[in-house]
A and B are shown apart, each in its own frame.
Chain A
Amino acid sequence: MKYLIPAVLSVLALMTACTPLPPQPARFNAYQGLTPGGAPPPQSSIRPPIQGSGKSIALVISDSSEKQYEYVEAVIAAMKGGGYMYSGDIDRRGRADYFNGQIVKKFQSKFARVELVDDFRNATAGKFDYIGLVDIAIQKPLTTGTTFGYDIDVDILTPSLQRIVSLRGKGLDNNRCPGSECSYATDMRALNQAMDQFYAALDANVR
């Protein structure tokens, strides 16, 4: 018994020593750093649906998305090093690769060529038929929270930087049971909800 009391106390101490999980950073203007003064582009006279078959699109990822990815990395780091119980594949499941991969796959199913470019200048050099500005937001629960969220906003632009259409997908779900597997299930529900909306929007606007 004399060995057990310190052991139990140490377990309790571990439970209370968790590093607080960081909060999701606020999103900011997706065009920041991409257009002069972050100004949104003018509306194009082209009306959706647009033709995707046989066409190329350059994907540009917003700076705001990068901040969201940094936040996700911080959450994972806190969970791994902050005294939380975590699954061995949290590195894999916690990151946004699957989410990003679904976005990429959807674009690849619609366009003949999909490439990643750094900025609009690289996308407006006449090498692409369209530009897609991808703006992502990801919400993980706080230490005592339960909410998972995914947002995807994509502006489809002409090579001359005129906005044809904005596509949106939003998913939000709350954990209803304890345990990491329940959390992942909630996470995936939120993700799929956002992806379903985005898929529907893309299907409706790109042939």
Chain B
Amino acid sequence: MLGRVRALAAGALAASLLAGGMPARAQQCVAQFQENAQQYHKNLGICGQRHRLMDGVPELVKLYQEMERKSPYEWQTTYYKQRGNADPSYTAKSTPDYKVRVADDPAGRWKSDATTTYFNCSAPLGVQAQDESFMECARVYSCALQASTCAIVEAHRTNTSDCNMVANQCLQKHRIPGMASLDSGAPPAPVPQGTTKGSAPRTPPPAVTSAPPSPVESLSASCKAQLNQFLQAADRGDGAKATAAYEALRANCDGAMRQLAQAADVSLPERQMGRLSRGSFQRCLSGVDCGTAPSSPDQMAAAAANAFNVDEVMAAAFSFAGLAVGIAGVAGMYTPMAGGQIMQSNRFSTINQRARSTYGQGGPTYVAPRTVPSDITGIKK
């Protein structure tokens, strides 16, 4: 979950860098990128502060102290020393911290020397342990700070009013962990890349001269308008309109959409085969149950036998037969065969008994002798 939030944050950072590219003069680009850089720097300090607090939250320290019944002096000399001389007076209200105290990451995401912590912006985002959470937070903003610093320098150097182009160039060169479109494809940058030391932007990176243009820029005016409609519908949570707009985009701007998808490292939603089509054809492709005509007599009998309880079917037939005999005289009704199963069935004979004569007057106090064979004992009369 944390990783996803971080990835979203990275995406938002990248988006805000790109958002700096509104039609403007070069000075406006510079101002926008400077504003971005300041925000990232501030956030970087907050991440560092949170990380430091994990080592010395006063409430936690006090709890340990009470549990182990150690004096405050003992804690000052043992616990805090063991925790890298963390300062117990440092709280959430303290000023942001740009000096992260942590062991070097074996995976190379960060390493420190006496004065500076270096972040590797090429390594993918990932939190392996709880105490890495705020380090990753710091790494994201440190790398974003590098990208925005690059953008400031580039905007100055080129004196362009195309802020998007500058932002894209710098994002290609200065990756932000968690930003998928930049995480894939580009070669990993060597350590060190960034630093948390100091509050001013770091030394500008080399100028970029051959970065590819953004796929968005290459869209035609019509496709841009349709893309905007699509994004607007998605933004409003209107799935139906978004889908319609997407379909229109695929119909009219398919090539550009594929380029956009490639740049954004996402898969374009494609049509999926229907459930019934897939089930039937896949079943047949695997050679199951599709090879012979389902209307052959053997199959029909087998299928019918499987579909019903035969005893129940037969019992129903006997009952129906009794009903049929009861309304004998109606044209087309079946007449049971002499000696057939229906005649031998109890149900039929039970119903038939009602029609049998009785001796004497009144109710059936004495039933006439059976005229059909008994099927109870199996001994036929």
Contact = CB atoms under 8 A, between A and B. Distances in A.
B275 to A, nearest CB: 8
A59 B276 CA distance: 15
Contacts of B282: 116
A70 B279 CA distance: 12
Given A36-B250, A36-B252, A96-B280, A119 B270 contact: yes
B290 A100 contact: yes
Interface residues of A, number: 48
B289 A88 contact: no
Contact of B276 (A4, A70, A92, A185): A70
B168 to A, nearest CB: 27
B128 to A, nearest CB: 35
B326 interface: yes
A172 B308 CA distance: 32
B293 A8 contact: no
Given A98-B294, A100-B290, A101-B291, A69 B284 contact: no
Interface residues of B, number: 38
Contacts of B293: 98, 188
B280 A97 contact: yes
B209 interface: no
A61 B254 contact: no
A84 interface: no
B248 to A, nearest CB: 8
B240 interface: no
B307 A101 contact: no
Interface in A81-129: 87-89, 91-93, 95-98, 100-105, 114-119, 121-122
Contacts of A96: 280
A59 B281 CA distance: 9
Contacts of A59: 281
Interface in B300-322: 300, 303-308
**CB-CB nearest 8 A-B residue pairs:** A101-B290, A66-B274, A89-B303, A88-B307, A37-B251, A69-B276, A88-B304, A61-B277
30 contacts: A4-B326, A36-B251, A61-B277, A63-B271, A65-B274, A66-B274, A66-B275, A87-B300, A88-B303, A88-B305, A88-B306, A89-B294, A89-B304, A92-B294, A93-B294, A93-B303, A95-B280, A97-B280, A97-B289, A98-B293, A98-B294, A100-B281, A101-B290, A104-B284, A105-B290, A116-B273, A118-B271, A119-B270, A119-B271, A184-B295
